[in-house]
Amino acid sequence: PSRPRALSGIQPTAGSFHLGNYLGAIRQYVALQESHDAFYMVVDLHAITVPQDPATLRENTRVAAAQLLAAGLDPDRCTLFVQSHVPEHAQLGWVMNCLTGFGEASRMTQFKDKSARHGADRTTVGLFTYPVLQVADILLYQANHVPVGEDQRQHVELTRDLAERFNGRFGDTFAIPDAYIVKETGKIYDLQDPTIKMSKSASTPKGIINLLDEPKVSAKKIKSAVTDTGTEIRFDEENKPGVSNLLTIYATLTGTTIAELEAKYQGKGYGALKTDLAEVMAEWVAPFRDRTREYLDDPAMLDKVLAQGAEKARAVAGETLALAYDKIGF
C-alpha cells in the first residue's frame, strides 16, 4: 500500500465520549484520515468485559459511531466499523491468547486498575485478556500507526512483542506497529484533580467534560476547575498542573500555541482564562452535539456507513487471518 495504515478503537460505554478521548485520541483519528489508510472501530467486544444491558449496548454503539462522524471522521476517507461485525477479531484474538504468557498479561497496568475498581468477584477472564484482543485488533489490519492516549502505550508495546514473536516462530506475517501519541494531549487531566487523568470510570462528574453535555454544563465545569493558590498563568505541569491542563485544552481547541496564550493572559487572573476557555468549550460542544443528533436521526444512513465499513474491514482482516492460519498449520 502506498499509504501507511492506521488503526484504533474506542469503547461504546457511557453514552458520551469525554474531552480526554477527543483530544488524546479522536482528534488524531481525524487527522490521520488524510495521510493514512485508516481503520477505526467501536469496540463492542471490549465493552462486554464488564456487564452490559443489551439494549443499552446497542444504543451506545450507535451513539459512539455518530460521535465519531460528528468529530470529523468521513466514511469516504476512512473505514469506520463496529468490531463485532468483523468476526476475525475474536478468531485472531484466540491465537494471540495462545502466544501470550500468563505473567506477561498479568503485568498490564490497565487490567490491574480496572479489576481493582470492579472487585475480584466481578472481574472476568475477558477483562484479563482484553489487551490481547487489542493485539489482534491492531495486527489484523497490518497497522503501522496506532493513535491512542498515553494510557494505551503499554498495550501497543505488547502488540509489538507478540507480532515479533509470531513472525519469529512462523515467518514474516504481521507489520510491527508504533503507538501514535501526541505528546501535548496524550494525557488530559481531571478538572477537579489535575494529578489524575480525565476518565469515565475514575473522574467525578465535575472533573470530566462529556462531549454530549449541554454547552452550559461544560462551561460551568471549566469555570469551577481546580487551579492553585498562585496568580500567574504559566505552563508548568509540576507546580501548576490545573492551569497547565487548561492551557493545553485551550491551545488545542483553538489552534494557538501555549506561548501565545501565556502572552495573552500576562497580568490577568485565572478567572479571565477560565471564562474565555468556557466560551471556547461551549462553542465547540454546541455544533458537535447537533451533528451527533443529525447522524442519530438518520438510522438508515448510519446503518449503511457501518455496513460498508464492516465490508471493507473484513476484506483486510480476512486476508490477514487466512495468512496467519496458514502459517500456524490450520
Binding-site annotation: residue ranges: 11-13, 20-21, 137, 149-151, 188, 197-201
Torsion sign (Cα): 58, 64, 70, 72 = negative
Determine whether 304 is an active site residue.
no
Query: Residues forming the annotated binding site for L-tryptophan?
Result: 137
Determine whether 200 is an active site residue.
yes
Pick the stretch among 80-88, 185-193, 279-287, 299-307 that binds ligand ADP (CB under 6 A).
Answer: 185-193
User: Residues with Cβ < 8 Å from 280, sequence gap 6 or more?
Assistant: 250, 253, 254
Taking CB under 6 A as the rule, does residue 151 contact ligand ADP? yes
Nearer to ligand ADP, 117 or 293 (CB): 117
Residues 144 and 42: their CA atoms lie apart, in Å, by: 19
Cβ at position 83, least distance to ligand ADP in Å: 13
Cβ at position 197, least distance to Na ion in Å: 8
- Catalytic entry in 112, 183, 187, 200: 200
Nearer to ligand ADP, 165 or 200 (CB): 200
Cβ at position 151, least distance to ligand ADP in Å: 5
Cβ at position 276, least distance to ligand ADP in Å: 22
Pick the stretch among 121-129, 146-154, 187-195, 203-211 that binds Na ion (CB under 5 A).
Answer: 146-154
Nearer to ligand ADP, 208 or 306 (CB): 208
Say which entry of ligand ADP, Na ion, none residue 80 contacts (CB below 5 to 8 A, set by partner kind): none
Say which entry of ligand ADP, Na ion, none residue 198 contacts (CB below 5 to 8 A, set by partner kind): ligand ADP
Nearer to Na ion, 134 or 227 (CB): 134
Determine whether 197 is an active site residue.
yes
Nearer to ligand ADP, 26 or 233 (CB): 26
Taking CB under 6 A as the rule, does residue 248 contact ligand ADP? no
- Catalytic entry in 114, 220, 264, 327: 114
Which parts of 7-46 interact with ligand ADP (CB under 6 A)? 10-11, 20-21, 24-25
Cα pseudo-dihedral 231, 233, 236, 238, rounded to 10: 30
Pick the closest to residue 172 from 129, 211, 139, 216 (CA basis): 139
Cβ at position 17, least distance to ligand ADP in Å: 8
Name the site residues for ligand ADP (rule: CB under 6 A).
10-11, 20-21, 24-25, 148-149, 151-152, 186-188, 197-201
Catalytic residues: 114, 197, 200
Name the site residues for Na ion (rule: CB under 5 A).
151
